[in-house]
Structure 1
Amino acid sequence: MGLSAVFHCVCIIFLLACISEVGAGKMVFNAVKYGAIADGKTDNSEVFQNVFNRACQMEGINVVLIPHGRYMLGPTVFKGPCKGHVVFLIVGTLLAPTDIASSVNVDHWISFQYMDRLVIGGGGSLDGRGSSAWPYNSCSKRPDCKPLPPSLRLDFLTNSWITNLTLINSKGVHIDVFGCDGLKLRHVNLIAPANSPNTDGIHIGSSRNIDISNARIATGDDCVSLSPGSMYINITNVICGPGHGISVGSLGRSPNEEDVRGVKVKACTLIGTANGLRIKTWALPYASSVLGLTFENIIMEHVNNPIMIDQQYCQAGNCQKEGDSQVQIQDVKYRNIRGTSSTKMAVTLKCSRSKPCQKIVLRDINLLYNGGPATSSCFYAKGVAYGIQRPPSCL
């Protein structure tokens, strides 16, 4: 076992030990002892910031402890780099503000930036109280809308862990990952109503070496969405639904976008989602690539569009009617995808006319519609099919 793995194991053991030994040693900074008030009304932003700064300025492993209770917290940024390594132990419940200014004029609720070997966990909850903000979401009408703030924003973290945490009712994305390298998300529960707008579970961009496993995601948008620059992403043992499925994209909306490559989605279950495994690109003249994707051992339960490539993606119906996507999709494998489709068209590969999909592999696809056969549809898709093919392959 390498030093990195040893450190991660020590962190998790230490994190759990802190729950029962919060008074042991100088490395534990109990927010209540520094003035935090757990009445669900008092803004604890300044106290939490002060406690974090103290922990961040010390060498070694230092714990910020949020004990049992309900703590209101305004938009807050916890920014490194730190002298040592911080364990942010949330045992209680953090409550987001509900005023309009905290909903439409900021790009975060809780943000962690520029840290190495950060651990966030503790079994507690982040309640975004999104119902106060969802009426201000205009993205269903305007593709250039300003997103509502994510509950947990993770920017430029390295070798870090998010574990044993529940996020509910985020105003926007539940967990937004950007510019990170070596981030593990384990045993997270992300929950919001199916009709909550743009409440993606985990959104990833310009990040690499991200592992998501043993998660339960039930929201109003993509369970996991991968935007440009997502590289070497592993998604394993995720239960998704309700929501919009697991999506790569949308891509090709802006010039000079980074590629998406090396994505593996394995042993996941999708239940009642609006889409299943989806790759979506705009029909615009901006070039990039999607390379080396594997979807394997996936169970579908009453899923719309279980397997879908859509290179004419159009949000809010406000898109150019003619045009070809310049995003090149190639080397995409679908293996052992089984279950039920809630639409008769279970497999749709709608690729770009000027840049057809290349090296698509369908192996052991077994998807039924209403207990009977489903259908498939291919446009400008090149590849091969092996093994069971229900519906019959269109490749």
Structure 2
Amino acid sequence: MGAYFGVSTIFILCLLGFSANAEVFSIGSSSGSDITQALLKAFTSACQSPSPSKVVIPKGEFKLGEIEMRGPCKAPVEITLQGTVKADGNAIQGKEKWVVFGNINGFKLNGGGAFDGEGNAAWRVNNCHKTFNCKKLPISIRFDFVENAEIKDISSIDAKNFHINVLGAKNMTMSNIKITAPEDSPNTDGIHLGRSDGVKILDSFISTGDDCISVGDGTSNLHVEKVTCGPGHGISVGSLGRYGKEQDVSGIRVVNCTLQETDNGLRIKTWPSAACSTTASDIHFEDIIVKNVTNPILIDQEYCPWNQCNKKKASTIKLVNISFKNVRGTSGNKDAVKLLCSKGYPCQNVEIGDIDIKYSGEDGPATFQCSNVSPKLLGAQSPEACSSPLTKLPGQ
């Protein structure tokens, strides 16, 4: 379905990386209608176009059912969401997806619109944070094996499960993403990543009921900058070690971010009874502001929520080359810094530089705790840094 374009329209398309003969596919449905089939048809046509194409969802509110938009495509595809698409408001247990973009090389998603997961009814039946044996709820937006992508100027509201899940991505940039859900909504991670390389998350706001950003196994070369998080559970690497055959994590950099009123701050978490033995390395947090954050800096290699593991078994996840530098602000409890490393595989090469975290509660001043780690200290430390002897590795 082609269209005639004026000179100004052609100029705009060229700025977006489209040639003058690009096709634009618009969802011509009226506000309030179900656009599932119309969107799938438009995407399929765009994906088969030999030249870059664009799909436009106009302003208004639309119903959208479960949909998978998968390639490979013959040329780059852009989707511009100007309105709001709304999921089924009821609990849908056993389904793990709502909107999926998959197997596309050269992809853009933008437009200023919103994905509304209508999760309120579903949260009441979600117990996956308490048990392994639970029926999954749908992730709002999934990017499966999407490469060379630009995701910007979109919102995710009230996801039933994770807001955004990124799996197998390469060279993806997310910017100006807004994610919102109540602080008591379970398992509503803002952006979760796994098995991905070269992802950037920039200039975004995340307020939700679980981790703002969670980094799963196999993630490498992740850059997070100018993200405001809160409420939520902070920015977390992990949890790692819950499942077998997990892959190493490396090259994580979080800079110039603000965490406010979060249950945790900058966190690395691994299961003590890990099902695998992998390494998480080169993880760096720098220039971070914390505002009334519980556990602002936390390495937790005894992570075992709801007693789902054997705490007596030391974590086999190795943490190497970790740094926390220029972290300042206020703590919501006295545990400003906790480095709880594995007694089986103590943390290696941990640097702490210029920490200034204050706590004004009645139960005493802020504290700095360590176990199975001897951090390298740079600059000033407030609270005063720990001095803990490094436990030797097995066989040393």
For the criterion TM > 0.5, the same-fold answer is yes
SS at match of 1:296: strand
- Structure 2: how far apart are the matches of 1:338 and 1:124? 35
Correspondent of 1:218 among 207, 216, 220? 207
Residue 309 of structure 1 pairs with residue 299 of structure 2: yes
Name the residue aligned to 2:266. 277
Residue 31 of structure 1 pairs with residue 24 of structure 2: no
SS at match of 2:374: strand
Name the residue aligned to 1:5. none
Residue 378 of structure 1 pairs with residue 370 of structure 2: yes
Cα 1:115–1:15 change in 2 (3 A) is farther
Partner deviation per Cα, 1:168-213 (whole Å, 9 max, x = no partner): 1011111100011111100000000001111010000111100000
For structure 2, the residue ranges without an aligned partner over 5 or more in a row are 1-11, 388-396
Name the residue aligned to 2:140. 151
Q: How does 1:14-163 map to 2 (within 5 A)?
A: 14=13, 27-32=23-28, 36-39=29-32, 42-100=33-91, 103-163=92-152
Residue 387 of structure 1 pairs with residue 379 of structure 2: yes
- Structure 2 counterpart of 1:38, one-letter code: S
- Structure 1: how far apart are the matches of 2:379 and 2:137? 45
SS at match of 1:283: coil
- Structure 1: how far apart are the matches of 2:291 and 2:328? 9
- Structure 1 counterpart of 2:386, one-letter code: C
The answer on whether the counterparts of 2:22 and 2:51 sit within 8 Å (CA) in structure 1 is: no
Residue 196 of structure 1 pairs with residue 192 of structure 2: no
Deviation at 1:386, TM superposition (A): 1.4
- Structure 1: how far apart are the matches of 2:265 and 2:15? 35
- Structure 2: how far apart are the matches of 1:25 and 1:168? 35
Deviation at 1:144, TM superposition (A): 4.0
SS at match of 1:110: strand
Name the residue aligned to 2:4. none
- Structure 2: how far apart are the matches of 1:190 and 1:107? 19
Residue 345 of structure 1 pairs with residue 335 of structure 2: yes
SS at match of 1:261: strand
Cα 1:256–1:15 change in 2 (3 A) is farther
SS at match of 1:312: coil
- Structure 2: how far apart are the matches of 1:111 and 1:80? 11
Give the helix-richer structure, 1 or 2: 1
Name the residue aligned to 1:166. 155
- Structure 2 counterpart of 1:388, one-letter code: A
- Structure 1 counterpart of 2:118, one-letter code: R
- Structure 1: how far apart are the matches of 2:232 and 2:25? 38
Correspondent of 1:237 among 223, 226, 242? 226
- Structure 2 counterpart of 1:170, one-letter code: A
Name the residue aligned to 1:4. none
Deviation at 1:140, TM superposition (A): 3.5
- Structure 2 counterpart of 1:317, one-letter code: N
Name the residue aligned to 1:6. none
SS at match of 2:37: helix
- Structure 2: how far apart are the matches of 1:98 and 1:334? 41
The answer on whether the counterparts of 1:150 and 1:174 sit within 8 Å (CA) in structure 2 is: yes
Q: CA RMSD in A?
A: 1.8
Question: How many pairs were matched up?
Answer: 372
- Structure 1 counterpart of 2:31, one-letter code: A
- Structure 2: how far apart are the matches of 1:127 and 1:152? 10
SS at match of 1:136: coil
- Structure 1 counterpart of 2:96, one-letter code: D
- Structure 2: how far apart are the matches of 1:314 and 1:109? 29
Cα 1:57–1:342 change in 2 (3 A) is same
- Structure 2: how far apart are the matches of 1:251 and 1:361? 21
- Structure 1: how far apart are the matches of 2:239 and 2:311? 17
Deviation at 1:44, TM superposition (A): 1.7
Deviation at 1:15, TM superposition (A): 9.2
The answer on whether the counterparts of 1:143 and 1:316 sit within 8 Å (CA) in structure 2 is: no
The answer on whether the counterparts of 2:304 and 2:311 sit within 8 Å (CA) in structure 1 is: no
**Percent of residue pairs identical:** 40
For structure 1, the residue ranges without an aligned partner over 5 or more in a row are 1-12, 19-23
The answer on whether the counterparts of 2:273 and 2:309 sit within 8 Å (CA) in structure 1 is: no
Q: How does 1:240-319 map to 2 (within 5 A)?
A: 240-285=229-274, 286-319=276-309
Moved over 3 A (4+): 13-18
- Structure 1 counterpart of 2:245, one-letter code: N
The answer on whether the counterparts of 1:16 and 1:122 sit within 8 Å (CA) in structure 2 is: no
Taking structure 2 as the reference length, what is the TM-score of the superposition? 0.91
Name the residue aligned to 2:6. none
The answer on whether the counterparts of 1:175 and 1:202 sit within 8 Å (CA) in structure 2 is: yes
